[in-house]
């Protein structure tokens, strides 16, 4: 008696699954077709999804760079603009929003999964992160992605130890998982060191994989809706050319100085005009001992270590870039050169422990035209130094701190 109903239900299930598969395949074809056109754009689905980031890592001519607010402040020397026409054979794929930190990035890159293996990835770090002892919960919540978090928690490519360490950190922000009972359950079981919790976690793993599948389908659907709302997308224009880095830097430095005017810290005029009264009240506000204490206790060090463990287990090839501190401004605040050296040295030590190259631009600590404000947003010349390093990294040239300065004329970089 029930056979017709069962057959109807089965047929409906097959049709539904077929429709979902067709939508997913169609969405991914479009994502692959338009990933180069979307690469320079900054939008929420790009930062908080997994599909487009995975597609980007599959492209031989895109270099993913993970950062925060600095990637959203554009000028002609920003790598999205500088490399837009693929002058030396590649363009960048920036990911990151205001308040993105290592704890957000490690979830995003866990979502990339096996597509990270053997691929270059750049991490852009502002020193200001490490001067705060805790990650801002509001900034973390604003950048949190359920699909990325779930991909990390239910990953079978990452070790249990890495997932357990990540769970401890993610549970420090319980509001972000309060409405996802399966994700919260898995995080709590991972964080608990007992044998029973470990068994329960593995018992929930198949359900977690199905949960991830559903989240990825939704991610594909949302990307499809986004693409349909972008009627002007077209193929990118590629124009190979020689890049005379010495000339580019000279022009960028002139532009940076012109925009800064004559204020004592080299900040851009618009920022200085708005913030000069506030800055005047900050003189000597931060005793070196207090800043060193915050640097030592910052949770960001542990998060960066965990991020590098995630990248290492997934087989990625990272490069760390860090903006320098504006020595003139930090001297004014009371943060002396010895205290600033604590940051540079510890960053280099942490990167060295993972055999990851780092360029901290410490030799620009006294360069007041490298950033445009107190938030470590890069100037025209600052971005040019970054661009040169990105170009060298993409083309397989050794990445070390000797590249953070110009020691004489550089050879023009032509097509490789």
CA nearest 382: which of 272, 221, 249? 249
Q: By three-state DSSP, how is residue 95 classified? A: strand
pTM score, whole prediction: 0.91
CA dihedral 243, 247, 253, 259 (to 10 degrees): -80
Q: Is 93 exposed, middle or buried (0-12, 13-18, 19+ CB in 10 A)?
A: buried
Which domains, from first to last, does the chain contain?
Answer: 35-144+233-416 (3.40.50.1110)
Sequential pLDDT tens for the chain (416 residues): 466 665 555 555 555 556 666 677 888 888 999 999 999 999 999 999 999 999 999 999 999 999 999 999 889 999 999 999 999 999 999 999 999 999 999 999 999 999 999 999 999 999 999 999 999 999 999 999 999 999 999 999 999 999 999 999 999 999 999 999 999 999 999 999 899 999 999 999 999 999 999 999 999 999 999 998 988 888 888 999 999 999 999 999 999 999 998 899 999 999 999 999 999 999 999 999 999 999 999 999 999 999 999 999 999 999 999 999 999 999 999 999 999 999 999 999 999 999 999 999 999 999 999 999 999 999 999 999 999 999 999 999 875 554 555 433 333 333 33
What does the alpha-carbon distance between residue 101 and residue 129 come to, in Å, rounded to a whole number?
8
């Amino acid at each position: 008696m029930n056979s017709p109903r069962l057959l109807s239900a089965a047929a409906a299930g097959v049709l539904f699954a077929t429709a979902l598969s067709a939508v997913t395949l169609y969405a991914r074809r479009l994502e692959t077709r338009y990933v180069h056109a979307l690469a320079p754009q900054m939008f929420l689905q790009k930062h908080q999804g997994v599909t487009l980031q995975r597609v980007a890592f599959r492209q031989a001519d895109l270099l993913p760079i993970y950062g925060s607010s600095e990637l959203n402040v554009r000028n002609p020397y920003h790598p999205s603009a500088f490399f837009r026409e693929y002058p030396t054979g590649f363009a960048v794929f920036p990911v990151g929003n205001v308040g993105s930190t290592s704890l957000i990035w490690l979830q995003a890159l866990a979502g990339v999964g096996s597509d990270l293996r053997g691929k270059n990835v750049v991490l852009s770090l502002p020193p200001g992160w490490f001067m705060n002892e805790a990650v801002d919960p509001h900034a973390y919540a604003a950048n949190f992605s359920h699909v990325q978090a779930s991909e990390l928690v239910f990953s079978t490519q990452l070790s249990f130890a890495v997932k357990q360490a990540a769970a401890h950190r993610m549970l420090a922000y319980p509001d972000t998982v309060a409405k996802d009972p399966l994700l919260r359950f898995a995080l709590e079981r991972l964080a608990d060191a007992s044998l029973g919790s470990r068994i329960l976690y593995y018992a929930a793993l198949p359900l977690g994989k199905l949960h991830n599948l559903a989240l990825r389908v939704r991610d594909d659907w949302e990307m499809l809706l986004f693409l349909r709302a972008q009627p002007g997308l077209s193929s990118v224009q590629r124009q190979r050319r020689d890049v005379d880095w010495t000339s580019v830097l000279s022009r960028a430095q002139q532009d940076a100085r012109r925009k800064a005017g004559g204020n004592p810290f080299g900040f851009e005029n618009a920022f200085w005009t708005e913030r000069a009264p506030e800055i005047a009240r900050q003189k000597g506000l931060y005793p070196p001992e207090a800043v060193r204490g915050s640097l030592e206790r910052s949770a960001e060090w542990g998060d960066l270590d965990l991020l590098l463990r995630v990248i290492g287990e997934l087989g990625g090839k990272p490069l760390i870039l860090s903006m320098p501190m504006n020595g003139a401004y930090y001297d004014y605040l009371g943060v002396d050169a010895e205290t600033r050296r604590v940051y540079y040295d510890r960053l280099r030590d942490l990167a060295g422990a993972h055999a990851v190259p780092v360029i901290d631009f410490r030799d620009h600590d006294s360069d007041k035209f490298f950033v445009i404000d107190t938030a470590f947003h890069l100037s025209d010349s600052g971005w040019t130094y970054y661009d040169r390093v990105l170009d060298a990294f993409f083309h397989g040239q050794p990445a070390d701190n000797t590249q953070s300065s110009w020691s004489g004329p550089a050879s023009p970089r032509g097509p490789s």
